[in-house]
């Protein structure tokens, strides 16, 4: 006889979490529901990307001078639309837009949160059917409630995040999010159109076998990073290895794998790009928050990512993130 196992949806979970805090207003649960809704719409488009004319370049550059793909624009519009018309967000910042967008209407001005997004990370992989993802980050406003959100609300260090998460559009679509209470993963059950709890209380293994870095840039990295990569290559059974190199070029997929299985991901600074490629606010802070909550570590090679005081919404930073013991080994490499 089939057992009717209880499934817990994302909405049920966030509402249940809220009940533990009598003072909670439900705004965070509402925000997560809105993000879940937008990501389901993106999931639908990503899954039919090969069938419709949504692949390929949109013919414009984003603010960092990179090619914008059509799905990037679609995803950006979905998240922006859902949050603008919801009741829980005072404004957003997106990797795809030059400036922050302050919603500035009566309801939004009363909202206590702002959101930052990379609507479609790894978008250069869209055309070749590789996993891509959405990354998000939620902050409590520091500006006065009842008035429009301000730039300061968005330029807070990552340690002020209230929640952060990502959606991976892979062999299945998954939404993983962290709060100070832990990290949980929900897989999209397409038969009912709901994210359902599949990975409760995610803990990043203390160590792992995977190291993820773009080897093509090896000679652009600092001596220290080159030495650490060499240590990874020289690992044997006797000293915790061998390690396996895995680099998809889609950070959501690379960090997701390392979060679940243990590993280290690096996007170091390079001789001609000392701050690397990844954006502090849209990519590094959210992942640093998630991985730290799961027991791992994240740095820029010098300091904890979450302690960096941002000065611009689109700033970049070198990024090292992963299992605690592997990060310790990187830090102790001279
Ligand atoms: P994108 O949003 O333009 O795709 O860039 C971000 C991606 C990350 O997901 C990934 O880790 C990195 O770029 C890969 O860059 P590279 O090809 O230089 O290794």
Q: Is residue 101 one of the residues assigned to a domain?
A: yes
Indicate whether 306 and 251 sit together in one domain.
Answer: yes
Domain endpoint, select from 178, 199, 220: 199
What's the confidence (pLDDT) of residue 54?
53
Burial 141-175 (b: 16+ CB within 10 A, else e): bebeeeeebbeebbbbbbeebbbbbbbbbbeebbb
Residue 250 CA: nearest ligand 1 atom is: 9
Indicate whether 164 and 261 sit together in one domain.
Answer: no
Indicate whether 190 and 230 sit together in one domain.
Answer: no
Residue pointed to by tokens 């929640």: 163
Q: What is the pTM of this model?
A: 0.93
Here the tokens at position 265 are 């991901």
Q: pLDDT for 310-319, tens place per residue?
A: 999 999 999 9
Indicate whether 146 and 295 sit together in one domain.
Answer: no
Tell me how far the alpha carbon of residue 68 lies from the centroid of ligand 1, in angstroms: 13
**Residue ranges of the chain with per-residue pLDDT less than 70:** 1-5, 49-69
CATH number of the domain where residue 102 is located: 3.30.540.10
CATH number of the domain where residue 259 is located: 3.40.190.80
pLDDT above 70 covers a percentage of the chain that reads 92
Collapsed DSSP state (helix, strand, coil) of residue 230: helix
Indicate whether 147 and 251 sit together in one domain.
Answer: no
Sorted by sequence, the CB contacts under 8 Å of residue 235 that are 6+ apart come out as: 241, 242, 243
What's the confidence (pLDDT) of residue 6?
77
Question: Which has the closest alpha carbon to 173: 27, 28, 45?
Answer: 45
Indicate whether 143 and 255 sit together in one domain.
Answer: no
What's the confidence (pLDDT) of residue 56?
57
Q: Is residue 5 one of the residues assigned to a domain?
A: no
In angstroms, the CA 199 to CA 239 distance is 30
Q: What are residue 136's phi and psi, to 5 degrees? A: -140, 160
Residues lining ligand 1, CB < 6 A?
66, 121-124, 214, 249-251, 267, 277
Ligand 1, pocket-test mutation among 75, 267, 314, 321, most atoms within 8 A of CB: 267
Residue 278 CA: nearest ligand 1 atom is: 6
Residue 265 CA: nearest ligand 1 atom is: 11
Indicate whether 222 and 85 sit together in one domain.
Answer: no
What's the confidence (pLDDT) of residue 4?
57
* DSSP string covering 252-302: HHHHHHHHHH-EEEEE---SS-TT-S-BIIIIIHHHHHHHHHTT-EEESSS
Indicate whether 191 and 215 sit together in one domain.
Answer: no
What's the confidence (pLDDT) of residue 62?
61
Q: pLDDT for 291-334, tens place per residue?
A: 999 999 999 999 999 999 999 999 999 999 999 999 999 999 98
What's the confidence (pLDDT) of residue 3?
54
Taking the CA atoms of 101, 104, 108 and 111 in sequence, report the sign of the dihedral they define.
Answer: positive
What's the confidence (pLDDT) of residue 55?
55
Tell me how far the alpha carbon of residue 38 lies from the centroid of ligand 1, in angstroms: 22
Indicate whether 48 and 108 sit together in one domain.
Answer: yes
Q: Is residue 324 one of the residues assigned to a domain?
A: yes
What's the confidence (pLDDT) of residue 21?
79
Question: Which has the closest alpha carbon to 74: 58, 98, 51, 61?
Answer: 58
Indicate whether 214 and 195 sit together in one domain.
Answer: no
Indicate whether 186 and 214 sit together in one domain.
Answer: no
Collapsed DSSP state (helix, strand, coil) of residue 220: helix
Indicate whether 224 and 247 sit together in one domain.
Answer: yes
Domain endpoint, select from 157, 176, 199: 199
Q: Note down the domain range covering 303.
A: 210-332
Q: Is residue 1 one of the residues assigned to a domain?
A: no
Q: Is residue 308 one of the residues assigned to a domain?
A: yes
* Number of domains the chain contains: 2
């Amino acid at each position: 006889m089939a057992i009717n196992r209880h499934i817990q949806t994302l909405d049920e979970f966030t509402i249940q979490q809220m009940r533990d805090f009598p003072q909670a207003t439900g705004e965070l649960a509402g925000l997560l529901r809105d993000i879940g809704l937008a990501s389901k719409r993106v999931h639908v488009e990503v899954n039919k990307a090969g069938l419709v004319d949504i692949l390929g370049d949109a013919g414009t550059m984003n603010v960092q001078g990179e090619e914008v793909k059509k799905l990037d624009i679609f995803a950006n519009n979905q998240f922006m639309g859902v949050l603008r018309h919801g009741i829980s967000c005072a404004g957003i910042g997106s990797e795809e837009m030059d400036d922050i967008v302050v919603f500035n209407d009566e309801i939004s001005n009363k909202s206590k949160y702002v959101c930052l997004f990379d609507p479609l990370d790894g978008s250069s992989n869209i055309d070749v059917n590789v996993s891509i993802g959405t990354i998000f980050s939620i902050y409590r406003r520091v500006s006065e409630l009842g008035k429009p959100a301000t730039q300061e609300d968005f330029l807070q260090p990552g340690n002020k995040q209230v929640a952060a998460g990502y959606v991976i559009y892979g062999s299945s679509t998954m939404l993983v999010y962290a709060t100070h209470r832990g990290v949980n993963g929900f897989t999209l059950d397409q038969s009912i159109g709901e994210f359902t709890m599949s990975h409760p209380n995610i803990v990043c293994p203390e160590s792992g076998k995977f190291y993820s870095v773009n080897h093509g840039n090896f000679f652009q990295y600092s001596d220290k990073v080159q030495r650490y990569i060499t240590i990874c290559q020289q690992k044997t059974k006797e000293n915790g290895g061998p390690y396996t190199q895995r680099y998809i070029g889609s950070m959501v997929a690379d960090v997701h794998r390392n979060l679940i299985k243990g590993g280290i991901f690096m996007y170091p600074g390079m001789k001609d790009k000392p701050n690397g490629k990844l954006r502090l606010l849209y990519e590094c802070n959210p992942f640093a928050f998630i991985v730290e909550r799961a027991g791992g570590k994240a740095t820029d090679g010098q300091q904890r990512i979450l302690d960096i005081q941002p000065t611009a919404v689109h700033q970049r930073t070198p990024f090292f993130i992963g299992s605690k013991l592997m990060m310790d080994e990187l830090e102790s490499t001279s």
